[in-house]
Amino acid sequence: MEFFTIMHKSMLRNFIPFSIAVVLSFFCGCVTNPVTGQQELMLLPVQQDIEIGRRYAPEVEKQMGGTIVNQSLQDYVDSVGQKIARISHNRDFDYHFTALNDKSVNALALPGGYVFVTKGMLEQLTTEAQLASVLAHEVVHIVARDTSNMISNQIGIDILLSVAASQKTPRGLLTAADLTRQILSLQYSRGDERIADLAGLNYMVLAGYDPQGMVETLQVLQRQNDLAPIEFLSTHPSPENRVEYIKEKIQTRYYGIEGLKSGQQDYNAGVLQHLR
């Protein structure tokens, strides 16, 4: 808010028409995070999110076992994701929800609307609401532009775009495959994760899903992680305290809402049957 006040005063002083100031503020890169409502410095135009997602999605697919070759399963996963995308704060991105043939228990997002969930994760889940909770969490990272912020801070957008654009990479320089491996190992801040959980919880309820699905998902992942460390939790905070604040939010905000979907049978028919 302060940014605009300062802009406005200097603008009046210099007789700059308001429309030009709006354009300037766009290029200065101060934007309102649609999820938190707070002003943040964002140096990337949205178009670059889309460009990064489009160029690196095929590389993520390649490094994570390729897509699961089953149109019916892909359509089902996408249909659940699109319900979330439709009610999200940013409906301008073209969202893609893709199931990958990787046995790791994982889900991830690329900027610009690309969400991936692994076969290992799908096998752990038992209801559509649980799947919705995983996809909703990732959609928040895209909408809040956590993914593009993290990538731009830790790798650099220029490098990502130039490497993706060059057909041949000279020996010794980074390749798109190297950069993808870096992207896959990046970690969001705890604050971003908490927002992704809580805003994701809201998204899933707005999309018609029982928020209990998010609690169940974290409990399932925790149990699995106790047996053998899973990938999703190597890049995400431990489920224990997440379950606590999610339960509290359900109690205070969503308690007693009727008609929300759990969708065990649908998940069984849409996913589990195809993986057997």
Q: Give 21 or 115: the residue with its C-beta nearer to Zn ion.
A: 115
**Dihedral sign from CA coordinates of 236, 238, 241, 244:** positive
Tokens standing for residue 199: 């805003």
Minimum gap (Å) between residue 145 Cβ and Zn ion: 13
Minimum gap (Å) between residue 235 Cβ and Zn ion: 7
Q: Give 118 or 270: the residue with its C-beta nearer to Zn ion.
A: 118
- Scan residues 177-216 and list those touching Zn ion (CB under 5 A): 193, 196
**Looking at beta carbons, which residue is closest to Zn ion?**
196
Minimum gap (Å) between residue 44 Cβ and Zn ion: 19
The residues with which 114 forms a beta bridge, in sequence order, are 96, 110
Minimum gap (Å) between residue 166 Cβ and Zn ion: 31
Minimum gap (Å) between residue 36 Cβ and Zn ion: 15
Closest CA to 184 of 141, 151, 206: 151
The number of angstroms, rounded, from the C-alpha of 165 to the middle of its chain's C-alpha atoms is 24
CB atoms within 10 A of CB 95: 22
* Size of site (CB under 5 A) for Zn ion: 2
Helix runs in the chain, H state only: 2-14, 18-28, 46-63, 71-87, 119-124, 128-143, 146-154, 157-165, 176-185, 190-206, 212-227, 231-234, 239-249, 264-267, 273-275
- Scan residues 89-128 and list those touching Zn ion (CB under 5 A): none
Residue written as tokens 């047996």? 227
Q: Give 78 or 193: the residue with its C-beta nearer to Zn ion.
A: 193
- Site membership for Zn ion, residue 139 (CB under 5 A): no
Binding site for Zn ion (CB under 5 A): 193, 196
